[in-house]
Structure 1
Amino acid sequence: MDLYINAIAHYIPEARVPNSYFKDVNGLDDEWIFSRTGIKTRSKAGEGENTNTMALEAVARLKDKLPFAIEDTDLVVAATYSPHDTVATAAHAIQRAYTTRAAKCLSVSSACSSFINAIEIVQGYFAMGKATKAIVVASEHNTEYCNESCPQSGHLWGDGAIAIAISTSPEGEKAAKILDIFTRGLGHIGKADTAVYLRPRHGGIGMPEGRDVFINACHYMIEGLQVVTESNGKTLADLKYIAPHQANKRIMATIARQIDFPEDRILSNIGEVGNTGCPSCGIALSQNLDRVERGDLVGLTVFGGGYSCGAVLLEFI
């Protein structure tokens, strides 16, 4: 069964926090932060905004691009590791807002690979004949949980959301065929159990093992791209663009160098919005859709704390 992304939309809060803010908070200056992360500013949700409201805003922007009535959606999958509510999830908030009465609703969490895992869940529901029109939304409210005073990672985090529509028909203004999806758990490698954590009452988001994350992210984000390209008789050189998880500008530069890929075709927004978590690869693609042309192959690749990785190969039609 063929799957197509029919529409893509994103939401990023208006507020930006500059590097200079952290000088008095965790002692790091603009030059130090930028040289090591590529971040100049990061997005921050406003008063009254949260993971669910940002997801709803992304879907509101998606709605007018849909080739089907949003009420006909029969599957909503939300992806996040920073939920506003772990009972009434973002998926259920979307169902309520748009009265998608027949929709199955669920939320998935696999750190920064959660968005790719959510797409793979849709693939499974479609294969079982249990859904035909899906909305996947990924949303992170990192600034709600981050400990800004932490000199290791307090300055990394931004907020935002991505929404996509998936069906079995190649419809939409800029539709993309999903050629392959790959995910993998990596909890058994390196310092996966301690490298990244989110403990709301015990330190918030932390990344005490940044070097271990860096090394493994570079390796497994490339591996994911190799799996989805080779399974379709393609090579990494056939990719027009790569939209990676926006964890660190140096990770993206290292990946480009290791696979001899033009860095200007690595889609990136980390300089403006920081690390927006699992929506980040999708947001980067959404922001650059005007660069993508019919026939282009685009690879999404991610790495998440815990650890996990994933990749998707898209062909725009």
Structure 2
Amino acid sequence: MYIHAVSHYLPTQVVGNEHFTQLNGLSNEWIIERTGIAERRKAAPGENTNTMSVEAVARLQEQADLSDVDLIVGATYTPHDTIATLAHVVQHHLGIADIPVVSISSACSSLLNAIEIVEGYFALNKAKRALVVVSEHNTAYNNDQDKVSGHLWGDGASALLITKERQTEGDFEVLSLLTGGAAHTGKATEAVVLKPLEQGVIMPNGRDVFINACTYMPKASQQALERCGLTIDQVDYVLPHQANLRISRNVMNTLGLPEEKLLSNIQRLGNTGCAGCAIALSENWSMFQPGQHIVVTVFGGGYSYGAMVIRK
């Protein structure tokens, strides 16, 4: 299984930390110290999870032919429409008939779950060229006045073309992919919640999230490396879920890797949910060299987690 191309879309509006200083008194220094975030993107009026998905796919079409895609998998926990999902809107945009179209949500780890669904379709010979689209409209649900987590969230989308066979020498081979759920652990079912009929995204147990994220992301990374016979010293870059820069640095420390190998966009984009890792992969795509190994590791609310090892 190969990642042939990846793209991303970001709204143009930039929200700096001064917005939260004026709104609820949180200083720029305090936010950066706690989260690493200096600014984030916010969808404009008329933009939503579905429109951002289409924009990301349109950018992917500039790189690759999508006319023969035979599977679309969408992922988000901030849907614009729970019936006509982002995956359906993407199919409508592409005008491709009679293919499987599914959407999933496993919180911020949904990217790897979506890719794992593709892996299953490939294994069963039900598809050969799959489109994975991840998109989050966090600001549609978020409460800026929430001093605990209101300043964390940003919006954005990404699209990946994944193929069963290698297309070019520039493709990334997926060497190992695993996902899991740790909802039996700690305060998994209450630590981060989004109840649309109540008060949006809230994080009443941030410390528990921090501890478990710092446990499961390095653990999953090491397991994924072991599955494909690699050691930690063969890792060129680590791309963790863009939740909190302190978490990312903790993950690197646990893995025994220098911060120079950390890929991070949370400083500029905030927490873009399940789209964050894919956006960062797209942003850094041209930097990667043949033979390099990248570990993508994720953790989400409900304490879903995963890791993927890819090689160019």
Give the stretch that moved more between structures: 31-40 or 283-292.
283-292
2:123 maps to which residue? 127
How far does residue 25 in structure 1 lie from its aligned partner after superposition? 2.1
Q: Hey, what's the Cα distance between the residues in 1 that align with 2:20 and 2:303?
A: 28
Q: Hey, what's the Cα distance between the residues in 2 that align with 1:79 and 1:173?
A: 28
1:19 aligns with 2:17: yes
1:296 aligns with 2:289: no
Structure 2: tracts of 5 or more residues without a match:
none
How far does residue 284 in structure 1 lie from its aligned partner after superposition? 1.1
- TM-score normalised to the size of structure 1? 0.96
Aligned length: 312
Q: Which of 244, 250, 253 is matched with 2:249 structurally? A: 253
Alignment of 1:191-270 (within 5 A): 191-270=187-266
Q: Hey, what's the Cα distance between the residues in 2 that align with 1:290 and 1:5?
A: 14
Q: Hey, what's the Cα distance between the residues in 2 that align with 1:25 and 1:249?
A: 23
RMSD over aligned CA atoms reads 1.0
Pair 1:284–1:105, CA change in 2 (3 A): same
Q: Hey, what's the Cα distance between the residues in 1 that align with 2:144 and 2:49?
A: 19
SS in 1 for 2:45: coil
2:29 maps to which residue? 31
Equivalent position amino acid for 1:6 in 2: H
- TM-score normalised to the size of structure 2? 0.98
Alignment of 1:278-297 (within 5 A): 278-297=274-293
2:75 maps to which residue? 79
1:50 maps to which residue? 48
Pair 1:172–1:61, CA change in 2 (3 A): farther
Q: What is the aligned-residue identity percentage? A: 50
Q: Hey, what's the Cα distance between the residues in 1 that align with 2:281 and 2:127?
A: 25
Q: Hey, what's the Cα distance between the residues in 1 that align with 2:103 and 2:57?
A: 15
Give the stretch that moved more between structures: 274-283 or 165-174.
165-174
Please say if residues 269 and 284 of structure 1, whose CA atoms lie closer than 8 Å, have aligned partners that are also in contact.
Answer: yes
Equivalent position amino acid for 1:65 in 2: Q
SS in 1 for 2:60: helix
1:112 maps to which residue? 108
Equivalent position amino acid for 2:292 in 1: D
Q: Which of 134, 148, 151 is matched with 1:155 structurally? A: 151
Structure 1: tracts of 5 or more residues without a match:
none
